[in-house]
Amino acid sequence: MSFTGNFKTVAFPDLLQLFATGDTTGTVVFVRGKAQKEIYFKEGKIVGAASKEVEEDFLGNILLRSGRISKYDLQRVIHLHRTDGKKIGQALVQLRLISREELKFYLKQQVEEIIYNLFGWSEGEFVFKEGELPDRSERLVELDIMNIIMESTRRLDEWAHIQKVLPDDKEILRPKREPNADKEDVILTQEEFRVVTLIDGHRSLREVIEVSPVGEFVTSRALYKLISADLVEVTGATAPAYDAHEDESLFWLLLRVYTAAFATIRKTLQRKLGPANRKVLASLAEFKKGIWSYFTDSDHADLPVIFEKLKKKIEELPQEVRALKVIAGLNQILEQQLAIVHSCLGIEIRKQVAGEIRKEVVFPLAERREIDKKYSIGAELYRILKEVKVTTAVL
């Protein structure tokens, strides 16, 4: 039996849990634009994965980032792959760049990275093909789905912590001339050393991330470590923090973040209690009033159209208080809706919902880090997600 769907209706962690509890065997194909990924399941376990048009997932690039092979080695592997039709892993072993045991290790790492990167997809289509699996030679790993979900949650939490320390995108980074830390006490990985070489006193944080060969997450984590160890400093040389469209950028960020949060809560209540449950409908209807309806009753696909209407409504508020009024109102609604989840479904489901919301909002907040830091949007939101309140009052 095959079925299709998208990440707007089914969250990726929920999909994994479905396959795990159902002892599923088959292939799931995920598509977003040109990017395509496949995950292979056998009796509820992940036994392999593949990726197309996503360079950071490629086995050769994983080995290159880890320092296990050189660019010249990778060129040789690709040449053998194209001329003889050998798979990348087979070519690596044939050229004696890695052993067969190492190949198994790096294939497992590749599968994990393909899956972890899917946790960052907020949109995309998928199709499940029951019973379909690639050749036996492809199934070289066996991963527990719950362990994957736990690790991805840890990574997202780490990402949120990293974002709090990093400076604004436009600020220039340079090696510190007289670091307080003893350099010998700081051990850098190969990936972190690659990031160090990009910090020259001229590139901004965003420029370092863009030219880095190891991807945004690994680069940001390396910069976090270097700044925390007092080996890299921010020069303070930066372009003006915001342009004339700062308000527009702020309210677009709020729309993306809070519609995702409220949609997660709404879908959880409907999934657990039924879409026509009177208690659910009555509770959620209380929030669909005035300006708040744009946030509490919207879907991702509608955001561009909704934003134009929302902007006109917000501009009716006094300019000097509009930002704080909207942020405070949204946080109050979030607290109250989470309290409803707690009241109806219990503390454990409330924790699960908080975790899902963190996954949904971490990337939009990272994309507009300057706005986030100025208004403490993420910091306040994460505080609310962590703090449990028992009130169920509504606006």
Residue scoring higher pLDDT (331 or 62) = 331
Q: Which two tokens stand for residue 80?
A: 């053998």
Q: How many CB atoms lie within 10 A of CB 381?
A: 23
| End-to-end alpha carbon distance in the chain | 45
pLDDT tens across 176-197, in order? 876 665 555 667 777 788 788 8
pLDDT above 70: residue 275: yes
Ranked by mean pLDDT, which of 115-119, 143-147, 171-175, 278-282 comes out on top?
171-175
Q: What is the side-by-side strand order in the sheet with 35-42?
A: 3-6, 125-130, 26-32, 35-42, 45-52
Least confident stretch, 177-191, 319-333, 338-352, 365-379: 177-191
- Which of 132-146, 190-204, 265-279 is the most confident on average? 265-279
Angle at 205 between CA 324 and CA 323, to 5 degrees: 5
Percent of the chain with pLDDT over 90: 14
> pLDDT tens for residues 345-371?
999 999 999 989 988 888 788 878 888
> What is the reported pLDDT for 185?
61
18-50 tens-digit pLDDT: 887 878 889 999 998 878 889 999 888 888 888
- Say whether pLDDT at 395 is over 90: no
What is residue 352's predicted lDDT score, i.e. its pLDDT? 92
Q: What is the mean pLDDT of the chain?
A: 81
Helix axes 377-386, 246-273, angle to 10 degrees: 20
Give, in order, the Cα–Cα distances in Å from 169 to each of 163, 236, 237, 248, 347: 11, 12, 11, 18, 37
79-92 average pLDDT score: 84
Q: Which has the minimum average pLDDT: 128-137, 208-217, 221-230? A: 208-217
Greater pLDDT, 315 or 305: 315
Q: What distances in angstroms separate CA 287 from CA 254, 292, 294, 306, 360, one per listed residue? A: 16, 7, 10, 17, 21
Residue carrying the six token digits 């994965």: 49
Domains of the chain: 3-146 (no CATH), 166-234 (1.10.10), 246-386 (no CATH)
pLDDT at res. 1: 60
| AA letter at 361 | V
Q: Is the pLDDT of residue 116 over 50?
A: yes
With a cut of 70, say whether residue 302 has pLDDT above it.
no
Give me the pLDDT at residue 301, please.
53
Q: Give the span between the Cα atoms of 18 and 12, in whole angstroms.
A: 10
Per-residue pLDDT, 300? 56
